Structure 1
């Protein structure tokens, strides 16, 4: 079944996730969707110093939105912020240094942001890790780094900022996941890839991306006053792809999307007025809600398993909340 999933997914990717896939889908886009006045709205984007996160930050800044860039490296973040301010002419671009794999730091950052009194209308969870090495990488807390960043870090930041988001009109949360999650079924027995005979960073990444899709659905049920969505950017030519899966990049580089194309649906979900009228909790690809499962792939989890994922993350988070 795993081979079947992978083959079906790759065939789907060649048709839909590439640059040509975006160009085909974009013929149905409405230009007016991105012409909203967002000068009164504030956006936080994690992993905003490069790749699709940087492209999204620039697009939002150009439209007049206030942008909070959350970056692991202050040096790279400052360089990206300067470029965005210069290119957009928008001075309301701010940098926050934060490693999304460090749960205590995320809690501290969320408390500090809440205490600052700054408004936040949209949170875009874009930061992610795909480990290229063949061995599990652990954070100083002993957490597997893919899980710590993509799942636990996203969960902590999102839930910790719920009170801040809830104070605003039409708050939104966008989670940048990956179509790679389609080859994975939620596996509560091995959330941190401890039981794999040989660690596979790509599969660990896909598992955490499946977890993000499940979380999006759970958040939509739990926090009905906030609009939640997740999205697949397609196969984009980013520094992360180049460094984490170099063989894939070398073979596919001429067919990969630009970072602007990869960021398009992220920006659309964050700013387009029409999004507020769509159901919360959906998975999007090229501005369209799509299925979270491949046909006949047997990747669906039970409602109880989906709820249990949230419980596990909540229990894990409590260890670092103080």
Structure 2
């Protein structure tokens, strides 16, 4: 798990089976969050090249339309659609998912790629810590809301882009809003990535006809890394993976038959299942804590929200 940079990818890629990605996904639809740059755009490009219908979910309309134009020009695939959504506004996430289900008859693959890392604690209009809203609650609401559509579609899959940073974090149910102690944006982000891993494992147990997976892309040269960690980016730029290398396992999980043959709910790096804990790690959590993370009714006792995605979303009463 410590092999995160470009050279490690080049070494791992020698074991890749090329025919795994020599596939057509024409007729299959893919929804990708954060698809206008970095890993998300590279994923959208790769899927469009293989004939898939791509739904780009992005926050910035101008950047999204520019990225769409690039994808269509390079691939010749015009089945690429832009949807504007700020994942930090959880009510709008639910509203978007409900509207998407009404408009489209199928969704084969959901790729939760968008993420947020903050230098200091901030809250959204609903009173939720912003990065938690994007990285965890937004991902959860989008996934849960779209599950009925995925379940009606052929070979449904959900892939979430996590981070190896979660290996240094134990699930903290009691501090999901990061309002206790000093706010360290990097560690908060790592905690959210641990939560994504646990969420994936739990959803896979409940929704057995959907293939769930979560992955670590390695250190990738993306705008997000450059903006969040400028010193690290400057010093390590020549060693970082390209967006295409970072997206490789996402694409493999999304389109290959080989990936679907693996058990659901697992964590991947460079097309291989890997452990979610370091050897002798202290990061294991109790089954009860893990179950609470993915039960909105249970989360009412540990999150400062009152949420029911079946009837709508009402965010209220910060603890």
- Alignment TM-score, normalising by the size of structure 1: 0.93
Q: Do residues 186 (structure 1) and 178 (structure 2) align?
A: no
CA distance in 2, matches of 1:312, 1:240: 29
Q: How many Å apart are 1:312 and its aligned residue?
A: 4.8
Return 136-145 or 232-241, whichever deviates more. 136-145
Match of 2:79 in 1: 92
**Residue 57 (structure 1) aligned with residue 44 (structure 2):** yes
Note if contact 1:177-1:213 (Cα within 8 Å) is conserved in structure 2. Answer: yes
Structure 2 unaligned residues grouped into runs of 5+: 315-319
Question: Structure 1, unaligned stretches of length 5 or more?
Answer: 1-11
Question: Does residue 274 of structure 2 align to residue 294 of structure 1?
Answer: no
- The Cα shift of 1:220 comes to 0.4
Q: Find the counterpart in structure 2 of residue 306 from structure 1.
A: 290
Measured against aligned partners, the alpha-carbon deviations of 1:119-142 in whole angstroms (never above 9, x if no partner) come to 1100000000011x2x20111111
**TM-score in terms of structure 2 length:** 0.94
Offset of 1:40 from its aligned partner? 1.4
CA contact (8 A) 2:32 2:54 kept: yes
Cα-to-partner distance string for 1:203-249 (whole Å, 9 max, x where unaligned)? 00000000000000001000000000000000000000000011111
Q: Which moved more, 1:215-224 or 1:114-123?
A: 114-123
Aligned match for 2:140, one of 132, 139, 155 = 155
**1:171-250 residue pairs with structure 2 within 5 A?**
171-196=156-181, 198-250=182-234
Q: The residue matched to 1:44 in structure 2 has which SS?
A: strand
Which position in structure 2 is the counterpart of 1:321?
313
- 2:27 corresponds to which of 37, 40, 47: 40
Name 1:8's counterpart in structure 2. none
1:275-303 deviation digits (Å, cap 9, x = unpaired):
22110000000000000001122100011
Secondary structure of the residue aligned to 2:294 is helix
Distance 1:104 1:312 in 2: 14
Distance across 2 between alignment mates of 1:117 and 1:37: 21
Q: 126, 132, 154: which one pairs with 1:141?
A: 126
Task: Specify the alignment match of 1:127 in structure 2.
Answer: 114
What is the CA deviation profile of residues 226-274 of structure 1, one whole-angstrom value per residue up to 9, with x for unaligned ones?
Answer: 0000000000000000000111111211110000000000000000011
Q: 255, 258, 263: which one pairs with 1:271?
A: 255
Quote the RMSD (CA, aligned, Å): 1.3
* Contact in 2 for aligned 1:36/1:273 (Cα 8 Å): no
Check the 8 A contact 2:35/2:44 in 1, yes or no: yes
Equivalent pair of 1:228/1:281 in contact (CA under 8 Å): yes
Indicate conservation of the 8 Å contact 2:203/2:294, yes or no. Answer: no
Alpha-carbon separation, structure 2, partners of 1:148 and 1:301 = 22
Structure 1 distance, partners of 2:154, 2:46, is 21
Matches within 5 A, 1:106-121: 106-121=93-108
1:190 is displaced (CA, Å) by 0.6
Offset at residue 189 of structure 1 (A): 1.1
Q: Secondary structure at the match of 1:250?
A: helix
Greater percentage in helix: 1
Cα pair 2:213 2:266 within 8 Å, conserved = yes
* Partner residue of 2:58 out of 67, 71, 86: 71
